Amino acid sequence: MQPRPNHGLRPVFCTIVPPHLLDKLSQADDPVLAAPARRTLEADGARRHQRQVTALAFAPHPPRTADAVPTKPRRTLYDCRHGTDLPGHKVRAEGDEPTQDASVNRAYAGLGATFDLLLSEYGRSSIDGKGLPLIGSVHYDEKYNNAFFDGEQMVFGDGDGEIFLDFTLAIDVIAHELTHGLTQYTANLAYQGQSGALNESVSDVFGSLVKQYSLGHSAEQADWLIGADILAPRVSGDALRSMKAPGTAYDDDVLGKDPQPASMDDYVETRDDNGGVHINSGIPNRAFYLLATALGGNAWERAGQIWFDVLTGGELTQRAGFAAFARLTVAAARSRFGEGDEAEAVLKAWSEVGVATR
């Protein structure tokens, strides 16, 4: 099975903080909270539009020969110095000593940890499988309440310091964004409706797996939260999302309540957020959590391998829904592990969240 090339397809502009959350924040009575959120929303909206206009100019990087596939990351970090020109000023290249700037060093380490997991566990060199250099920019804009992958590079804001902290503080956020690149180079799931929610969920899955891998946490030890380290102390909540218990990540007087459903019974039909891509992703997220904890041990080994096989296997279509994805995970479990506990646990996980597998 060969992964499909994605010639001519539009890269996704994906932010870690969804528009519905920033929208809520921008309506806060306190201008200290509302102003940065409004600014971030406007900047994201403009950039989303810009991506659409320049979409046709996007072309995949030329393939390299197989014997030249690198086994070491090639990272370059830039500092935007609170401006919005990308990539900004070059501050750290691969192999350079750490800088005085902790944001630069954290982004460098997070990109490295993601590269390591992909290569050592799944045999993939970088997000394109050909050692693609990884580019990150920190200190983007002022009080920018987001981090994003724009199809070519990662960008991190410093947060407003009131609700959101420096986005490089969370390794799962870094890995989440980079996984959008992995998806772009493989299944290229369309960023709308269920396929969009799968795109988001896959980023949460590998975001969490990179965090677990770097901490040496088993499925039982993991917190199964996304973005726990970027919420300021004043927020009533644990994280942006919970894979273990979608809908319980936060319940805050400014941010409102986490809107994620935990099963198909509570699936949210909406036109916002590209049809709820950051909302309904709670359903496949919980299926992965249920599988990983049922199997036990390190989640990146068997559960992560099954998800990776589906994402990169070439059979997942760009507009796949939850049921199609679920069926492929059952097939991937059988083809890699036979008719054993793994396939049985995959079936049970999807059934618990109400997604049919046959």
Residues in contact with Zn ion by CB under 5 A are: 14, 200, 203
Half-sphere exposure of 328 (CA within 13 A, CB side): 20
Task: Give the residue with the Cβ less far from Zn ion, 166 or 273.
Answer: 273
Angle between helices 302-312 and 322-337 (to 10 degrees): 120
Task: Give the residue with the Cβ less far from Zn ion, 167 or 327.
Answer: 167
Given a contact cutoff of 8 angstroms between Cβ atoms, the answer to whether 182 and 206 are in contact is yes
Closest distance of CB 207 from Zn ion, Å: 8
342 is catalytic: no
Closest distance of CB 313 from Zn ion, Å: 21
Round to whole Å and give the CA distance between 195 and 211: 24
Task: Give the residue with the Cβ less far from Zn ion, 19 or 131.
Answer: 19
Nearest-CB residue to Zn ion?
A: 14
Task: Give the residue with the Cβ less far from Zn ion, 203 or 293.
Answer: 203
Task: Give the residue with the Cβ less far from Zn ion, 227 or 261.
Answer: 227
Structure token pair of residue 166: 């420096």
Closest distance of CB 199 from Zn ion, Å: 7
Q: Which of 177, 180, 200, 342 is catalytic?
A: 177
Closest distance of CB 325 from Zn ion, Å: 16
Q: Are strands 89-93 and 75-79 parallel, antiparallel or unpaired?
A: antiparallel
Q: Which of 139, 176, 180, 278 is catalytic?
A: 278
Structure token pair of residue 337: 């592990």
Task: Give the residue with the Cβ less far from Zn ion, 200 or 238.
Answer: 200
Closest distance of CB 178 from Zn ion, Å: 10
Task: Give the residue with the Cβ less far from Zn ion, 92 or 176.
Answer: 176
Closest distance of CB 144 from Zn ion, Å: 16
278 is catalytic: yes
CA angle 182, 187, 188 (to 5 degrees): 75
- State residue 325 phi and psi, 5-degree precision: -65, -45
Closest CA to 125 of 60, 63, 208, 198: 63
With 0-12 / 13-18 / 19 or more C-beta atoms within 10 angstroms meaning exposed / middle / buried, residue 218 is middle
**Residue for token pair 């909540």:** 237
Closest distance of CB 15 from Zn ion, Å: 7
Cα 266 from chain centroid (whole Å):
23
Residues assigned a catalytic role? 177, 278
